[in-house]
A and B are shown apart, each in its own frame.
Chain A
Amino acid sequence: MRFFGRIKDIQPAGIDGVIIYFSGDTLTDKNDAVQALARGLRAQRLTWLKSLIAGYDSLLVLFDLQRADVHLVYRTLKNTQPREAGADEHSHYELPVWYGAPSANDIAVVSEKTGLSEDEVIATHLRQQYRVFTVGFSPGFAYMGETSESLSCPRLESPRKKVPAGAVAIADRQTAVYPNESPGGWNLLGLCPLPLFKADGSQPITLRAGDTVNFVQVDEATFRELADKHG
């Protein structure tokens, strides 16, 4: 892969930041390039590198102003080989979901919007492995995709004031788990019993850009058991 060719644009992002935009045929392609460059940069253990914040199709590089300037960053980017994911670089998670949990159930709405039966909605969501494109909005909120085209589903017309913690949701061709109770406009499919955010910072699961996720269906009894164990 001629990597620098995947870079569409590089712009300053503040005094200590540079943001890189990527081209690609699909969102997954673009995000592949984001992740590959992030891995290539991390592998060099650059002393001036403060943080790499992945977006869907962009990478924000924050650097230490005492040790680097934009020219050094550009030069480094030019000489950085993208890296395919090493076996131990990203985690894979299987997230249990109680589909149709009463406090998080828009399956009928999704069925109506997509033309799939309610069972097909669940089966389609379960069938695929998803990749974490980016994490943000709030701690632990992982934007995953892409869902099957057939499950593509617009956001709710008016966002809910309260989405429960653990709600598993879809919007457009993305899926996510709400780490804590918050407002939100995504369509809810069920509840995940594993905490993705804890105020003490000790969340058992920390989703990072590049990680992969499969959803696994559980019944209410298993959900309650898991929720008790991890509460």
Chain B
Amino acid sequence: MAEITLLNSGLQTLVVDAGRQPQAQEIGFCASGAVDLLSFELVNWLCANPLDTPALECIGEVVFSVSHAMEIAVGGPAVSVQQNGDEVSAWQSINLAAGDTVTVSPRRLGTKSYIGLGGVLDLPAIKGSKTIVTREGVGGIHNDGKSLQKDDTLPVAVHSIQAMRELEAHEIPDYTLETPLDVVVGYQQARFDNWQQQLFFASEYTVSNDINRMGYRLTGQAIEVEPEEMYSEGINCGAIQFPPDGQPIVMLADRQTLGGYPKIGCVADYDIYRLAQAVPGDVVTFRAIDADNARGKWLLWHRLEELIFDSHPNSSHPETEQR
């Protein structure tokens, strides 16, 4: 079996995939999975993998070598890739020879780079997922939830090298934050009075330093919500909750399954990748959208993604594994 050896694991390198079976949340397991599912799926497509194949999610500069010839692909915001010291393009399949060394460096510190691997990592799967969940101490080489470290080796069953794939310029994800993030209002929205809701949607929020795979804490205009005792309830991905200080927290892949803070709604699924790629100091804004329009946009967004996946003449459509 081929091996990938990490020579530099950057600030954090994790194995991620599409996340656990959704029913695992019913017994308290967090959803987990890649925080930026769009980039994750694209690097898998570039490697001719099923779209939910485990890949690496990296923060900071990461260097690794491979023991056997294999295919990889790298994606993420403004990421540069070197193969044995020579610049190669992101967002395309890259054929590595045995012994090759790859350096992945994002231009901005804090963004997530995704490394798709042409094969399947041989690691324990918990509740249908190989994602490393540090908070729960689950997943990874020793199944203890530790992020990958320098000198770690990952066994991978490589598949044969497929025809080269690359994204056209317009197919590369747009990570910019100029457009507001769509929010499906709901949950306790009725407890936020009209003026507070308007204030929230009219204000700019700065991404704080307190961000991780559980959630992003933002700072800006504090929002008041009518105090009222509430019981813990299920938290969907993207939920925007307000603790007593009135500063919003957007919940992401490793969020706890239940929580008791009032929520104004959820960032729409198709906009979560942009927030997940924001770094401290970035500014985001929100805009309300109703559930029907949001679903319409989601379906269109998925159709566009399928057009990319169907576009390659030499490829079969990668089927997402049924979970």
Chain A: residues with CB nearer than 8 A to chain B?
11-17, 19, 27, 50-60, 62, 65-66, 69-70, 134-141, 143, 179-180, 199-201, 206-209
Closest residue of chain A to B295 (Cβ to Cβ) is A69
Task: Assess whether A13 is in contact with B266, with CB atoms less than 8 Å apart.
Answer: yes
Q: Is B162 an interface residue (CB 8 A)?
A: no
Contact code string B77-92 (vs A, CB < 8 Å = 1, else 0): 0000000000000000
Give 8 closest A-B pairs by Cβ, nearest first: A60-B234, A136-B258, A53-B234, A12-B186, A14-B266, A55-B233, A56-B231, A51-B22
Chain A residue contacts of B294, Cβ below 8 A: 15
| Contact call B27/A12, Cβ cutoff below 8 A | no
Contact A136 B257 (CB under 8 A): yes
- Cα distance A15–B235 in the bound complex, in angstroms: 13
B interface with A by C-beta (< 8 Å): 22-23, 25-29, 124, 126-127, 136-138, 143-145, 184-189, 231-239, 256-258, 265-266, 268-270, 291-292, 294-295, 298-299, 302
Please indicate the chain A residues that have their CB under 8 angstroms from the CB of B270 in the complex: 15
From A12, A19, A179, A199, B234 is in contact (CB under 8 Å) with: A19
A136-B28, A137-B256, A208-B26 known; A60-B233 Cβ under 8 A? yes
- Chain B residues whose C-beta falls within 8 Å of the C-beta of A17 in the assembled complex: 234, 236, 266
When A and B form their complex, what is the total count of cross-chain residue pairs whose Cβ atoms lie within 8 Å? 142
Closest to B256 in A: A137
User: Would you call A13 and B234 a contact (CB within 8 A)?
Assistant: yes
A51 touches B292 (CB 8 A): no
CA distance A70 to B291 in the complex (A): 7
Q: Which of B22, B143, B257, B295 contacts A15 (CB 8 A)?
A: B295
Complex contact B25–A140 (CB within 8 A): no
A52 is contacted by which of B26, B189, B232 (Cβ under 8 Å)? B26
Most buried by A among B25, B185, B258, B268: B258
Once bound together, how far apart are the Cα atoms of A15 and B266, in whole Å?
A: 8
The contact of B137 among A14, A56, A180, by CB within 8 Å, is A180
B236 with A14: CB separation less than 8 A: yes
Min distance, Cβ B34 to any Cβ of chain A, angstroms: 17
Partner of A209, one of B26, B143, B269: B26
CB distance from B297 to the nearest CB of A (A): 9
Contact of B27 among A15, A50, A56, A208 (CB under 8 A): A208
Provide a sorted-by-A list of 24 A–B residue pairs whose CB atoms are within 8 angstroms: A11-B189, A13-B186, A13-B239, A14-B186, A14-B238, A15-B268, A15-B269, A15-B295, A15-B298, A19-B233, A51-B25, A53-B234, A60-B233, A69-B291, A69-B292, A70-B292, A136-B256, A136-B257, A137-B232, A139-B29, A199-B136, A199-B137, A201-B126, A208-B26
Which of chain B's residues have a CB closer than 8 A to the CB of A14?
Answer: 184, 186, 236-239, 265-266, 268-269
Contact assessment for A55 and B291 in the assembled complex, using a CB-CB cutoff below 8 Å: no
In the complex, which residue of chain A has the Cβ closest to the Cβ of B265?
A12
Decide if A139 touches B291 in the complex (CB within 8 Å).
Answer: no
Specify which chain B residues have a CB less than 8 angstroms from the CB of A201 in the assembled complex: 126-127, 138
Q: A56: which B residues are within 8 A, CB to CB?
A: 231-233
